Amino acid sequence: MERILFVATEGLPFVKSGGLADVIGSLPNELRRKGYDVRVVLPLFKKIAINWHYKFTFLRTYTVNINFEEKQVNLFYYIYNDVTYYFIEHRDYFEREGLYGYEDDGERFAFFQKAVLEMLNQIDYFPEIMHCHDWHTGMIPCMCKENFNHDYRYRSIKHVYTIHNLAFQGNFGRLMLGPCLGLGDYVFDNGNVRFDGGISFMKAGIVYSDKITTVSPTYAQEIKTTQYGERLESVLRFREADLCGVVNGIDTEMWNPKTDSLITKNYTSRTYKKGKAENKKALQEKLGLEVNEDVMLIGLVSRLTWQKGIYLIIEQLFNICNQPVQLVFLGSGEAGLEEKLREAEVSNPGKVCFYCGYNEELSHEIYAASDLFLMPSLFEPCGISQLISMRYGTLPLVRETGGLKDTVIPYNKFTGEGTGFSFSNYNSNDMMHVLWEAINLYYNEPDAWKQLVKNAMNKDVSWEQSAEFYIGIYKELVGE
Ligand code: ADP
Ligand code: GLC
């Protein structure tokens, strides 16, 4: 087995809205290093067009049929870090301000998926494995099996589908089945893609793929329950023999406090104390916080949405601000959450800073400068931020769910073990209890704290092991 094609809608360094882009920007590199021919196909979004288009090579033009109209696809490619990236260009569909959230998302991503399937024929490249990610690509295994089964080249492809977030499902009206997706009504009638009287791209991915993975073993269990299953739990239970969890890694070259050029002072697990102090001072100066290298700095870098447990922090803001700590929040999202964090900044000058927006450079500075990282998520399929923060010696305080449970070892006061702190129930008092424990440890037991930082920084958060796991899945599917 050699040829693997990743299909996704975001990936670094081209375009990012969340952790999916981190994964698509790093797992292929690791597979490539291990000797596989990995390629990635992405929509050519506006941000990519502005920053990268001039570097791309044009491959060919072809059409796909959507709503009884032949629509033109311009296909480009670019080799980056020895991985080949294909880009599907259609300016009306993809060159818009944002990536997702448009009324015609169903049509846009139906077009993308059809264009990807036709691309294989156009360039005569047929992977042994097609690895699709999240709902925007969930119809590919379905269309491939239903519409191309007569063609041996398509029939031989094995499909892996990774769920990064079950909460986003791509559910649309059934009327798009024929005109947009070219599928017969029977896939609705037999229930394969039917959901809530309409169709679900996510469900189709789950039903039609040869193997389904999600991004942590705990989330793989959780999504089979009503609490986390987003009403797809019974479908997931039905496929449970083919479902497994593989924890994400991060790009340990890009995220490396020893070499990171975006931070003020580079450091290692040996020099972290001095390094963090300098990064902290620089960040405090930059953000207008009181300059004090001894104060405990608590960081948060996140999409501001209900998933992330920001409400727990807001509920306890008064209590947290009564502690000898400083808080720095970076993120954007729901207006109500942004408003509350803005209020917190105004009421606590010099102590709380909220940077509303997306800022790559500032995120590096926060990971490097903070002592503690807050991530009390309601659910978290894997989480990338806690992996980055451990790598930077910033102890994560997390809720025990999904990948947070699988990657953060909670502090054990009897053995001194741990790489962070955790609590179990989604309840702000429980979170506060653990936060107090962390604050106490930071100020009163510096040796214990130091040990936790070293443990966190020495933890393997690379793709090494998980990439092997994926290779095992691919090989099993092709019968090697
Ligand atoms: P999710 O994908 O659910 O948003 P993850 O923890 O998997 O959560 O990944 C989030 C990624 O996005 C991390 O790399 C994090 O550093 C980054 N990120 C989130 N919000 C911002 C922001 N406002 N500015 C810069 N980077 C951000
Ligand atoms: C999703 C999840 C996040 C995960 C990321 C990458 O955005 O919310 O937990 O880390 O995908 O797999």
Same domain, 365 and 471: no
Residue 179, preceding peptide bond in cis (omega within 30° of 0): no
- Mean of the pLDDT values across residues 388-417? 97
Which residue minimizes the CA distance to atom 18 of ligand 1?
A: 302
The tens digit of pLDDT for each residue in 182-195 reads 999 999 999 999 99
CATH classification at residue 201 = 3.40.50.2000
Domain match, 112 and 147 both = yes
pLDDT at residue number 172: 98
The verdict on 236 and 279 lying in the same domain is no
Residue 215 beta carbon below 6 angstroms from any ligand 2 atom: yes
For the Cβ of 83 lying below 6 angstroms from any atom of ligand 2, the answer is no
The pairing of strands 395-399 and 3-7 is unpaired
Cα distances (angstroms) measured from residue 220 to each of 23, 236, 273, 402, 452:
17, 9, 37, 8, 28
92 and 158 both lie in a single domain = yes
* 21 Cα: distance to centroid of ligand 1 (angstroms): 9
- For residue 178, the tally of other CB atoms under 10 A from its CB is 14
Q: Report the predicted TM-score, pTM, of the whole model to 2 decimal places.
A: 0.97
Domain of residue 294, residue span: 272-457
Shared domain for 225 and 301, answered yes or no, is: no
At residue 329 the predicted structure's pLDDT band, cuts being 50, 70 and 90, is: very high
Residues 238, 377 within the same domain: no
Write out the E strands in 81-146.
83-89, 129-133
Closest by alpha carbon to 239, among 200, 210, 197? 210
Q: How many domains does the chain have?
A: 2
| Centre of ligand 1 from the C-alpha of residue 63, in Å | 35
- Record the tokens describing residue 290, joined without a space: 């009181």
Question: Angle between the 105-123 and 139-147 helix axes, to the nearest 10 degrees?
Answer: 50
Residue nearest to atom 20 of ligand 1 (CA): 302
Which two structure tokens, joined as six digits, stand for 105? 């998302």
17 lines ligand 1 (CB under 6 A): no
Q: Is 257 a member of any domain? A: no
Shared domain for 298 and 241, answered yes or no, is no
> How confident is the model over 65-88, as a mean pLDDT?
97
Q: Which DSSP category does 61 fall into?
A: E
Residues 323 and 375 in one domain: yes
Q: In 322-463, which ranges are continuous DSSP H helix?
A: 335-347, 360-369, 385-391, 402-407, 428-444, 446-458
Question: What's the Cα-to-Cα distance from 23 to each of 249, 289, 462, rounded to whole Å?
Answer: 7, 33, 11
User: Across residues 141-152, what is the average pLDDT?
Assistant: 98
Within 10 A of 46 (CB to CB), how many other CB atoms are there?
16
Q: Which whole number is the average pLDDT over 94-101?
A: 97
pLDDT tens per residue, range 7-51: 999 999 999 999 999 999 999 999 999 999 999 999 999 999 999
DSSP 275: H
Whether 303 is in the pocket of ligand 1, judged by its Cβ within 6 Å, is yes
* pLDDT 10s digits, 220-251: 999 999 999 999 999 999 999 999 999 999 99
pLDDT at 129 over 80: yes
Please give the pLDDT value at position 443. Answer: 98
Question: Does residue 262 form part of some domain?
Answer: no
Cβ(142) to ligand 2 under 6 A?
Answer: no
Neighbours of 279 (CB within 10 A): 28
Output the six-digit token pair for 127: 């992977």
Ligand nearest to the CA of 366: 1
- Nearest Cα residue to atom 10 of ligand 2: 383
